[in-house]
Amino acid sequence: MRLNKHLARLGLCSRRQADVLIESGRVTLNGQIAKLGDIVGDNAVLLVDGKPVGAAPAAKRILIAYNKPEGVESTQDARNPRNIDAHLKFEGPRVFLIGRLDIGSEGLLLLTNDGDLVNPILRSQFNHEKEYVVVYDKGISEAQIHDLSMGVDIGDERGLTKPCRVERLGGNRVRIVLTEGRNRQIRRMAEAVGLRVVRLKRIRVMNIELGELGRGEWRYLSQDEERKLLAQLDLKAGNTPREKLKSASSAGEEALLVDSED
């Protein structure tokens, strides 16, 4: 098994985060500094930051929905006092983030101990929906709604944003449903049409809804929510949709894993 996948299966991090650990020289395999693409054998001696890690446990998959408040950062770096773990206070096996939200944004974040879930959820070409309630600094016109819906240039040299759904909720509020996650996308889309976001809340990721979950609270996904989520990802019993991931990789999708569309 490839080293990055092995680390993800251990629940230490996502595959993408594992690549960063490997590239930074923090992982050794059989006494040697590991390299990207290394294969982990059955009797491998594997250390991360000098500490041994064992074989992937047959642990139950954990999926958590968390209502991130404003002011909490989407990081698990313990040196940052605003990190997710300090506020989540989850006392089970280590879980890590699937995507992120800007420090000034609030709402639904998903966390898991299964690294195989991260890329299938975040990759833009799979068109998985994420839904937001957005409050602007002033009223929004029909022309601005049309432009946002059709796609705008947000100055990231990647062309127009993908078409999205924009629904007026009254006053300065709209509902936006995206299927991509460029850096600070919703805020930059607003700027492109002469608006400024004053409040942003994510209320849904795919079939998982924030619902009545209190600010700063978390809950386990229900069995029905997990079943429907995995069905959308073509995942069964922890299997990764390899053909989809291979297709995404060949299309150069790595840059689309930012998932910071606020």
Q: Is the pTM of this model over 0.75?
A: no
* 97 and 191 together in one domain: yes
Query: Helix, strand, or coil here: 222?
Result: coil
In this prediction, residue 59 carries a pLDDT of: 62
How many domains in the chain? 2
Assess whether 116 carries a catalytic annotation: no
* 99 and 8 together in one domain: no
Tokens of 84: 């997710």
Q: Which of 38, 102, 114, 116 does the annotation list as catalytic?
A: 102
Name the residue among 192, 205, 144 with its Cα closest to residue 172: 144
Q: How far apart are CA 214 and CA 256, in angstroms?
A: 30
Q: Report the CATH number at residue 182.
A: 3.30.2350.10
In this prediction, residue 236 carries a pLDDT of: 46
In this prediction, residue 46 carries a pLDDT of: 92
Q: Mean pLDDT in runs of 10 for the chain (262 residues)?
A: 82 81 94 93 88 68 94 91 90 87 95 87 86 97 97 95 96 96 94 98 97 94 93 63 37 38 61
Host domain of residue 186: 59-262
* 80 and 151 together in one domain: yes
* 21 and 66 together in one domain: no
* 137 and 47 together in one domain: no
Query: H/E element holding 91?
Result: none
